[in-house]
Amino acid sequence: MKIKKLFVDADIEPHPETKVICKAIGLPAETITDPGSLYRWINQSSDPIRLGKQTLYLTRNKGDFLKACPGTKEYTCCDYQILHVASFCFLDCSYCILQSYFHPPMLQFFVNREDLDRELTVFFDRGHRKRVGTGEFTDSLIWEKWTDLNAFLVTRFSEQSRAVLELKTKTVNIERLEALNHNRKTILSWSLNTPTVIASEERFTAPLRSRLEAANRCQSWGYPVSFHFDPMVLYKGCEAEYKEVVRAIFDYVLPENIVWISLGTFRFMPSLKPILAERFPSSKIAYGEFITGLDNKMRYFKPLRIRLYQKMVSWIREIAPDVTVYFCMEDEEVWEKSTGLIPEPEGGLGRLLDKSAAVICGLDP
């Protein structure tokens, strides 16, 4: 998809970053004094999500840039820190929760970098070992053509030794990262899936091989990398395909450069199902064997999840026994039956991932 409409909040129209992005996009920008009118325009469309993916609103983040991942108390949380630099994504994955999370669903980029910089200074001064990522509410690398934000972030994180930045993506927009002095404090991370799922459910994303080739290049530039199998989708023949993806990872990346691999199966809020049916009528992923989880999301039956997790863990450990593998939002039973261990309560998973980041990224104790 391409940006077709560009709007600028009147409050940040004179901002230097606004001018840089507007020039890079090359579209005439319309100044907005009433954001509500823009939201109503999006919502009145016959396809608000598609329109929102083609509409960029440059504005100010009026809240905190850094915030704790919301998680769910019923499932084991990794204590991640979200760096909220932008919202929504112009990639078009059928299962994307952002389609029903943002109201309206619209691309927004926050230009007030000076406030972000101050917040990072306070964060670093506290000296807590933390994992921070920009890929929760958007794809971390879709903004590379228009802004040097990632270069700024990589540089800021390279100047300290207690926290790591994770840039998560389904793209191969890595060229501007090559020459940066990252000091191994930035992790380049790819969301992976089988070729079948990528072709049918992940529109406008890079093919699997291209993602792995990009990971290989980043490894050659000294970056640590990570991978996320989330969401894994159950379908006939999926196990054989996921096994091949696991093997392919290690054809491109050395185990000692992988900070972690996360696993999570497809789950969704009930409100996503009608959106998926309307926008992706050929998709069948929402019609499997689901139950309502403790977080009110629809999830595969637990025995089905555990079976796939057990196999994934065994395939990874067969090749790279020391690589850290974890589950995104699963309970103790799933952990024990899939891995033979249960993270300690009250931050045990977070400490496990912090330890892996410390070893591979060179964090201070």
Q: What is the pLDDT of residue 267?
A: 95
Long-range CB contact pairs, 126-129, < 8 A, 24+: 127/162, 128/162, 128/163, 129/162, 129/163, 129/354, 129/357, 129/358, 129/363
Q: What is the pLDDT of residue 90?
A: 95
Q: Name the helix (H) or strand (E) containing 186.
A: strand 186-191
Residues with Cβ within 8 Å of 20's Cβ and at least 6 positions away in sequence, in order, are 146, 147
Indicate the pairing of strand 55-59 with strand 5-9: parallel
Mean pLDDT of 240-259: 98
Q: Is the per-residue pLDDT at 102 higher than 90? A: no
Percent of the chain scored above 90 by pLDDT? 91
Higher-confidence residue: 329 or 32? Answer: 32
| Torsion, Cα of 125, 131, 133, 137 (10° steps) | -110
Distance CA(123)–CA(117), nearest Å, equals 10
| Torsion, Cα of 150, 154, 156, 160 (10° steps) | 160
Cβ contact 310:338 at 8 Å: yes
Among 4-8, 165-169, 292-296, name the one with the lowest average pLDDT: 292-296
Question: Which CATH number fits the domain 61-361, given the four candidates 3.40.640.10, 3.80.30.30, 3.50.80.10, 3.40.1180.10?
Answer: 3.80.30.30
Q: What is the pLDDT of residue 93?
A: 98
Distance CA(141)–CA(173), nearest Å, equals 6
> Can you give the pTM of this predicted structure?
0.96
- Please state the domain extents for the chain: 61-361
pLDDT bin (cut points 50, 70, 90) of residue 1 is confident
Straight-line distance from the first to the last Cα atom of the chain, in angstroms, rounded to the nearest whole number: 44
Q: What is the pLDDT of residue 76?
A: 85
Per-residue pLDDT reduced to its tens digit, 157-211: 999 999 999 999 999 999 999 999 999 999 999 999 999 999 999 999 999 999 9
DSSP result, 97-159: THHHHSSS--EEEE--HHHHHHHHHHHHHHT--EEEES-SSS-TTTTTTT--HHHHHHHHHHT
Q: What is the pLDDT of residue 128?
A: 82
CA angle in degrees (0–180, nearest 5) for 67-69-75: 155
pLDDT bin (cut points 50, 70, 90) of residue 53 is very high
Query: 10 Å Cβ neighbour count for 273?
Result: 15
